[in-house]
Chain A
Amino acid sequence: MTRGATLTASAALGLLLWQGLVWLTGVPPFILPGPVRVADELWQSRALIAEHAGITVAEVLIGLVLGALLGGLTAVALATSRPARDLVRPMLVFSQAIPVFALAPILTLWLGYGLGSKIAMALLIIYFPVTSSFFDALMRTPQAWLDLAKVMGASRRRIMWRIRVPSALPGFASGMRLAAVYAPIGAIIGEWVGASKGLGYLMLLANGRAKTDLMFAALIVLAVFTLALHAGVDRACRRWLDGRVVREAR
């Protein structure tokens, strides 16, 4: 079977089990709606869901870009300077001991109910994986390459930008792949805690009004978006980071 066929079969099996569970248990739709009902709701409320999804997508994408930039720069700074490493790394590790979930209310207090607090949540949740995997890769440059560069008379700055960073880009790519999965989680937590827009807000609202089918519809849209984001980031990483080639030959 091709990959596409396997995936389709797997999805069909999942839907069948879901519908089977609904039939067998006979639970009312406000407890567990079947896939057909959810699909119908998805279609009926498409404008509403799309509006809220747009907000969440914007939060996630902005958070992802900012987190990549900030994480990338932090990793380079840490790899450049030993004092920075000694001072900042313990703080980074400590920050990971604080559950990001616990920060969401305070971020809402500081940044308000709008996009800002959700972007900050997405950024916070991806910052560490991006920084950490890029930094580790930067510290693993083969010593022989560094020696060669030194004999050639390279400055530390040029060794960083022409040898260490290019050789560590696959590590940065691993961080970005994780970030693509984490960033939506961050944004949704932010929306749960305090928002007036976004898929997380819509899910909470639907749940509170026992509109379970709408809740599921929003959840499915979120999951599909996360999968698409991960696939897109993975593709971009392969193209521009893992297999990056700098050409000099004319």
Chain B
Amino acid sequence: MSRAPALMVSGTARYGAAVVFGPLDLRAGAGEWTCLLGPSGVGKTTLLRLIAGVDDFTDFRGEIRASDDLPLQGRLALMAQSDLLMPWLDVMGNVVLGARLRGERADLDRAAEVLDRVGLTAHRGKTPDRLSGGQRQRVALARTLMEDRPVVLLDEPFSALDARTRAQIQDLTAELLAGRTVLMVTHDPAEAARLGQAILILSESGLSEVAPPAGPAPRPVDDPETLRAQGELFNRLRGAA
């Protein structure tokens, strides 16, 4: 992986005559985990899709760039709320999907290593329908790691998981994505308070920054400072909605 650049977005997005978001000026620090928090419908996912270069319908005027001024294309990975596993591929096949799609040789040894890191070695030959929700999201994480991109976009990747599994996968993801520039969209204040090294709130009135709790992320779920920050974020969100 090359050195992770900071990610900068400035501009306004419109869909037809309606403004989706903006004007805003967003910066996700190099090698940092930035949480973008906000109520539904303020354009968080649209923002992420614009950065990923997969939104062909929204009219975006502005600039999306990396701090090193190299193109973002090919340096991004995406993890969504749904695990997006291909049901006809086994776990290993899903992990090496990127290489197959680019027509490259799949590095099965590295894939085996990555699967080991997410704790799925025993499941590598299974199809997704035989895995639990948490295991499936681990496969998605392994697929993301396999891509080895400096910038990672996360779109509520843990929201469909039960509380215990969510905390486990949050810890694992934070550990394994350390050093990359991560921009995570979430509507969960608890998640932002646990994982954010920077926390941004997007509302109809624009973008505002909130100081994250002290201590390195991922913070313990019962850390008083984190819980207090979670409460504060919740109140800010209620104000924003």
Partner-B contacts on A (CB < 8 A)? 142, 144-155, 158-159, 162-163, 166-167, 169, 244-250
The listed residue (B53, B86, B90, B125) touching A166 by CB distance below 8 A is B86
Q: Which residue of B lies closest to A158 (CB)?
A: B101
**Chain B residues in 8 Å Cβ range of A148:** 78, 80, 84
Q: Which residue of B lies closest to A163 (CB)?
A: B86
**Chain B residues in 8 Å Cβ range of A162:** 97, 100-101
Cα distance, A131 to B147, chains bound together (Å): 36
Size class of B's contact patch? 20 to 34
**Chain B residues in 8 Å Cβ range of A147:** 49, 52, 54, 78
* Further pairs besides A144-B82, A145-B86, A147-B49: 11, Cβ < 8 Å: A145-B84, A151-B52, A152-B97, A152-B98, A152-B102, A153-B102, A246-B93, A247-B93, A248-B106, A249-B91, A250-B92
Is the CB–CB distance between B88 and A248 below 8 Å?
A: no
Partner-A contacts on B (CB < 8 A)? 49, 52-54, 73-74, 76-78, 80, 82, 84, 86-93, 96-98, 100-103, 106, 108, 111, 124-125, 127, 147
B45 vs chain A, min Cβ distance (A) = 11
Assuming the A-B contacts A147-B52, A152-B147, are A158 and B103 also in contact, with contact meaning beta carbons closer than 8 angstroms in the complex? Answer: yes
Is the CB–CB distance between A248 and B96 below 8 Å?
A: yes
**Chain B residues in 8 Å Cβ range of A249:** 90-93, 124-125
Is the CB–CB distance between A149 and B101 below 8 Å?
A: yes
Cα distance, A59 to B211, chains bound together (Å): 75
- Chain A contact residues, majority secondary structure: helix
Is the CB–CB distance between A244 and B101 below 8 Å?
A: no
**Chain A residues in 8 Å Cβ range of B124:** 249
Q: Which residue of B lies closest to A150 (CB)?
A: B54
**Chain B residues in 8 Å Cβ range of A144:** 80, 82, 84
Is the CB–CB distance between B93 and A248 below 8 Å?
A: yes
Cα distance, A159 to B241, chains bound together (Å): 39
Is the CB–CB distance between A245 and B127 below 8 Å?
A: yes
19 inter-chain pairs at a CB distance below 8 angstroms, sorted by A residue, are A147-B52, A148-B78, A151-B54, A151-B76, A151-B77, A152-B101, A153-B102, A158-B100, A158-B103, A159-B101, A162-B97, A166-B88, A167-B88, A244-B88, A245-B88, A246-B90, A247-B92, A247-B125, A249-B124
